[in-house]
């Protein structure tokens, strides 16, 4: 089978490797769509190294068809369409035992400890199946949208942390795929107004299409002026940073209303720091939170949003490539010209 093999940073050729052999407690999945994530790009370029194996196959936004089922696996059948929650909690560490399995201290993940989805066939290990991370989908759900359940679950977890509520004004900085998913979720949560800041014209247009009330280019308009104008000088109820730029963190506190929330959703470069004015947080009682991964419940809720068609992710999917075209897909993702790029089989 064909697989994208990460040999080291910036070296990831498409190679022919054997189809994985599964044991009696495992599933073999025929990959149909694996979406490229911003984290994947950081891994491929060497910006992210923690937990990364060489050589390995990465890719964690996964959807496919069950090809084989081990003799001891119950509840799954050949031919079923499934999406896979790649983060597998240990169930026994301090974080898991206190209801924060997304921050599991001993978690394993497909695309890290186990090979990921940029290959034609994927072995789903026993621990993943036992954790109920394999979610069945109706055949009516396109595989590409099924693969986006994973980033949707991440964003859903982040929105819970941020506490987006009915009638809120939400400011989203960055209209890449993640920012656009946050836009869709904020609208579902009942946000009165969503302001999107994005320098890329194509992405601004897409944000407007997906329902943002205010879209601006921060290179041409002063973001602070726009937020003040749209909030009667109060500031946004929730500010979501979907770009990992340390220099804008302090500005986020200035754009947030008193007793509002700033969520640092995007990953930042390793060892990066940001200068902040602590009194902005102190005197305005601003709530500051981050967001990492998702819980299995988040993933199930995200899957239900897709299955019930309460959220439409199709507008975020812009390109599809075969595995053997991965270099072309990578270059497109690197250029920022597209949104969600899927490797399809």
Give the pLDDT confidence of 69-123 residue by residue, as tens digits.
999 999 999 999 999 999 999 999 999 999 999 999 999 999 999 999 999 999 9
Cβ–Cβ under 8 Å, residues 135 and 82: yes
Residue 276 to residue 249: CA distance in whole angstroms: 7
Residue 338 lies in a domain: yes
- Does one domain contain both 121 and 16? yes
- Does one domain contain both 138 and 164? no
Six-digit token string for 324: 């053997």
pLDDT at 249: 97
- Does one domain contain both 167 and 131? no
Residue 304 lies in a domain: no
- Does one domain contain both 87 and 198? no
Q: Is the pLDDT of residue 31 over 90?
A: yes
Residue 153 to residue 177: CA distance in whole angstroms: 13
Of residues 337 and 191, more confidence is placed in: 191
| Sign of the dihedral defined by the CA atoms of residues 202, 205, 211, 216, in that order | positive
Residue 302 lies in a domain: no
Give me the chain's average pLDDT, please. Answer: 97
Note down the domain range covering 52.
Answer: 2-148+313-344
- Does one domain contain both 67 and 92? yes
- Does one domain contain both 28 and 129? yes
Q: What is the mean pLDDT of residues 267-290?
A: 94
- Does one domain contain both 28 and 132? yes
Q: Is the pLDDT of residue 189 over 90?
A: yes
Q: What is the mean pLDDT of residues 190-202?
A: 97
Number of structural domains the chain divides into: 2
pLDDT at 19: 98
pLDDT at 61: 98
pLDDT at 102: 97
- Does one domain contain both 127 and 7? yes
Six-digit token string for 39: 């984290």
For residue range 43-68, list pLDDT tens digits in order: 999 988 888 999 999 999 999 999 99
pLDDT at 340: 97
Strand blocks (E) in the chain: 2-4, 14-16, 27-35, 61-69, 81-84, 87-88, 108-109, 121-124, 134-137, 169-173, 193-197, 214-216, 236-241, 256-264, 287-290, 317-321, 340-344
pLDDT at 28: 98
User: What is the share, in percent, of the chain residues with pLDDT greater than 90?
Assistant: 96
Q: What is the mean pLDDT of residues 185-210?
A: 97
- Does one domain contain both 333 and 212? no
Six-digit token string for 153: 């679950």
Residue 226 to residue 215: CA distance in whole angstroms: 10
Residue 154 to residue 131: CA distance in whole angstroms: 18
- Does one domain contain both 132 and 57? yes
pTM metric for this prediction:
0.96
- Does one domain contain both 161 and 35? no
**DSSP alpha helix (H) spans, the chain:** 38-44, 94-97, 126-130, 143-147, 149-162, 177-189, 201-209, 223-230, 249-255, 278-284, 296-307, 326-335
Q: Is the pLDDT of residue 36 over 90?
A: yes
For residue range 118-143, list pLDDT tens digits in order: 999 999 999 999 999 999 999 999 99
Residue 320 lies in a domain: yes
- Does one domain contain both 142 and 160? no
CA 112 to chain CA centroid, Å, is 15
Residue 266: CATH number of its domain: 3.40.50.720
Residue 61 to residue 71: CA distance in whole angstroms: 27
pLDDT at 268: 87
């Amino acid at each position: 089978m064909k697989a994208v093999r990460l040999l080291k940073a910036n070296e990831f050729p498409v190679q022919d490797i054997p189809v994985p052999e599964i044991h009696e407690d495992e599933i073999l999945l025929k990959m149909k769509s694996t979406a490229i994530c911003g984290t994947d790009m950081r891994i491929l370029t060497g910006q992210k190294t923690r937990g990364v194996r060489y050589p390995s196959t990465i890719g964690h936004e996964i959807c496919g068809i069950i090809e084989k089922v081990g003799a001891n696996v119950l509840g799954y059948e050949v031919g079923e369409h499934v999406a896979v929650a790649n983060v597998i909690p240990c169930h026994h560490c301090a974080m898991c035992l206190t209801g924060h399995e997304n921050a599991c201290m001993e978690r394993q993940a497909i695309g890290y400890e186990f090979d990921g989805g940029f290959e034609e066939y994927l072995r789903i290990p026993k621990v993943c199946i036992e954790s109920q991370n394999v979610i069945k989908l109706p055949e009516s759900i396109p595989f590409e949208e099924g693969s986006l359940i994973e980033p949707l679950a991440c964003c859903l977890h982040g929105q819970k942390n941020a506490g987006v509520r009915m009638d809120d004004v939400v400011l989203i900085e960055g209209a890449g795929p993640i920012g656009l998913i946050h836009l869709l979720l904020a609208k579902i949560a009942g946000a009165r107004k969503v302001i999107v800041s994005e320098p890329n014209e194509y992405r601004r247009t897409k944000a407007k299409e997906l329902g943002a009330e205010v879209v601006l280019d921060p290179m041409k308009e002063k973001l602070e002026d726009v937020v003040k104008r749209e909030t009667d000088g109060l500031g946004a109820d929730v500010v979501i940073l979907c770009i990992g730029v340390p220099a804008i963190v302090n500005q986020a506190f200035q754009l947030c209303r008193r007793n509002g929330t700033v969520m640092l959703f995007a990953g930042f470069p390793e060892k990066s720091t940001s200068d902040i004015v602590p009194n902005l947080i102190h005197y305005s009682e601003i709530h500051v939170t981050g967001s990492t991964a998702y819980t299995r419940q988040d993933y199930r809720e995200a899957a239900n949003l897709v299955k019930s068609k309460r959220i439409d992710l199709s507008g975020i999917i812009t390109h599809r490539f075969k595995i053997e075209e991965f270099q072309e897909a990578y270059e497109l993702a690197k250029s920022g010209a597209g949104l969600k790029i899927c490797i399809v089989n």
